Amino acid sequence: MKKSTKKIAMIVFMALMTVVMAACGNDSANDKKAKAEAGKDGLKIAIVTSPSGVDDGSFNEDNYNGILKFIENHPTATVKAVKEETGDPAAAVQAVADIVADYDVIVTPGFQFAGVSSIAVENPDKIFILNDSEPAPVGDQKKFENIYAMNFAEQESGFFAGMAAALETKSNKVAVVNGIAYPSNVNYQFGFESGVHYANKVFGKNVKLVELSGYAGNDVNGTDVGGNYAGSFADEATGKVIGNALIKQDVDIIFVAAGGTGNGVFTAVKEAKGDVKVIGVDVDQYDDGVNGSKNIVLTSGVKFMSMNIEKALNAVVDGTFKGGNVVLYADTDSTGFIKEEGRQQLSEDTLSKLNEAYELVKDGTIVPASNFNGHTPEKFPGL
């Protein structure tokens, strides 16, 4: 009788424990779900940039604008802008390491942030959005589940800038000014040079590319790529020096791909006598070209970065985010030039030729030279 009573008591006790444990399990699952939903609704985002910051009017600012656009549609999300003051790759990665614990998503625009892959491995619950770089390998690993690394075919946007410059120049002398010879900048340079050579051959132009002595760039492999490199994205004084030197050599259109340094080039052109213009980069820089009653911006060679940053953040929220390394081209409307009326000063003839070339770039007939695609500005498919 005692054994039977004990047995019944034990069965009742186990049944009760099962119910309690099931309830606890459900609470745990619900808690996790609630936390996940809360994390989505109140997504905490940080953007870590080069010394020119999120108000550089160009590359960094467009990335930041993509985050702000996302927040417009997800008002409980927040963003913190962090400016890394040196541009040194080791310091850039450390700047990310210093804040990673406090944010859900870290956006890092710039080649110098490639090393954040090591931080991503240590923080698998954090998401990283890179722009302008593939993540540095960690051992044999080159792709990471929590890193979405986007690169753009800057050579395409540079190509349209080069065509525009060659078709619109009156002095038959044009130039490109860059910051540092990171792959994205060399892509712009080679693309620009490709566009000039294309206009010379296809449309019978005779335009010269001007390079200043002492400002050639060396890419990440140490190869001399020529061009006009200031060595910084945040040195307006040097930008102005380079701009003035080019103007003295009768250059009348300058493609400016130099971040904050480019502001100095803009100043040099605004102060110049005669009809000198710039071509903006990364974003529509027409508003930056206002100079009294005139405007110095001919057009802008652009990458549609803010759109793609917003897309990546939306993927985080809707649960479709996937890590990977991608290159975005004209066929996804991610590269191009500013053609809207009132935002450029291209002739109808130039605009028509650019639109025709855009379709040829889009379908792969024209493949401008880039830093590592094996083509040169003097010889590439479509020339």
Contact of 286 with 280, CB cutoff 8 Å: yes
Same-domain status, 70 and 130: yes
Same-domain status, 271 and 347: yes
- Residue 1, in any domain of the structure: no
Same-domain status, 133 and 183: no
- Residue 25, in any domain of the structure: no
- Residue 308, in any domain of the structure: no
Overall average pLDDT of the 304-330 stretch: 96
Contact of 233 with 260, CB cutoff 8 Å: yes
Separation between Cα atoms, residue 127 and residue 145, nearest integer Å = 9
Cα angle 289, 110, 90; round to 5: 135
Q: Give me 87's structure tokens.
A: 């541009």
Same-domain status, 140 and 185: no
What letters, b where the CB count within 10 A reaches 16 and e where it falls short, cover 185-213?
A: bbbbbbbbbbbbbbbbeeeebebbbbbbe
pLDDT tens digits, 24-83: 444 444 333 333 333 456 999 999 998 889 988 788 999 999 999 999 999 999 999 999
- CB count within 10 Å of CB 28 equals 10
User: Among 89, 117, 152, where does a domain finish?
Assistant: 152
pLDDT tens digits, 339-354: 999 999 999 999 999 9
pLDDT tens digits, 126-157: 999 999 999 999 999 999 999 999 999 999 99
- Beta-carbon contacts of 229 under 8 Å, excluding residues fewer than 6 positions away, are 177, 178, 179, 180, 181, 185, 215, 216, 217
Separation between Cα atoms, residue 320 and residue 119, nearest integer Å = 22
- Residue 282, in any domain of the structure: yes
CA of 89: how far to CAs of 51, 110, 116, 136, 306, in Å?
A: 12, 10, 10, 11, 23
Domain that holds residue 122: 40-152
Picking from 253, 177, 170, 175, the residue whose alpha carbon sits closest to that of residue 206 is: 170
The pTM of the full predicted model, rounded to 2 decimals, is: 0.81
- Residue 226, in any domain of the structure: yes
pLDDT tens digits, 94-127: 999 999 999 999 999 999 999 999 999 999 999 9
pLDDT at 212 over 70: yes
Overall average pLDDT of the 346-365 stretch: 98
> In the prediction, which pLDDT does 40 show?
54
Separation between Cα atoms, residue 152 and residue 339, nearest integer Å = 19
109 secondary structure, DSSP code: E
3-state DSSP assignment of residue 173: strand
102 secondary structure, DSSP code: G
What letters, b where the CB count within 10 A reaches 16 and e where it falls short, cover 331-362?
A: eeebbbbbeeeebbbbeeebbebbeebbeebb
- Residue 353, in any domain of the structure: yes
Picking from 303, 361, 313, the residue whose alpha carbon sits closest to that of residue 335 is: 303
pLDDT tens digits, 1-38: 444 444 444 444 444 444 333 444 444 443 333 333 33
Same-domain status, 210 and 347: yes
Same-domain status, 107 and 166: no
> In the prediction, which pLDDT does 41 show?
61
Picking from 139, 113, 144, 111, the residue whose alpha carbon sits closest to that of residue 127 is: 144
With the CA atoms of 69, 279, 220 and 216 taken in that order, what torsion angle do they form, in degrees rounded to the nearest 10? -160
Same-domain status, 121 and 239: no
pLDDT tens digits, 321-332: 999 999 999 999
3-state DSSP assignment of residue 299: strand
3-state DSSP assignment of residue 79: strand
Same-domain status, 194 and 226: yes
Of residues 41 and 320, the one with the higher pLDDT is: 320
Overall average pLDDT of the 299-320 stretch: 96
User: Among 87, 117, 152, where does a domain finish?
Assistant: 152
pLDDT tens digits, 252-298: 999 999 988 999 999 999 999 999 999 999 999 999 999 999 999 99
- Residue 372, in any domain of the structure: no
> In the prediction, which pLDDT does 87 show?
87
Same-domain status, 67 and 115: yes
Assign residue 252 the CATH number of its domain.
3.40.50.2300
> In the prediction, which pLDDT does 58 show?
81
pLDDT at 237 over 80: yes
- Residue 147, in any domain of the structure: yes
Separation between Cα atoms, residue 152 and residue 37, nearest integer Å = 32
Domain count, the chain: 2
Picking from 260, 285, 282, 319, the residue whose alpha carbon sits closest to that of residue 158 is: 282
Same-domain status, 72 and 211: no
The partner residues of 210 in beta bridges, in order of sequence, read: none
3-state DSSP assignment of residue 230: coil
Average pLDDT along the chain: 90
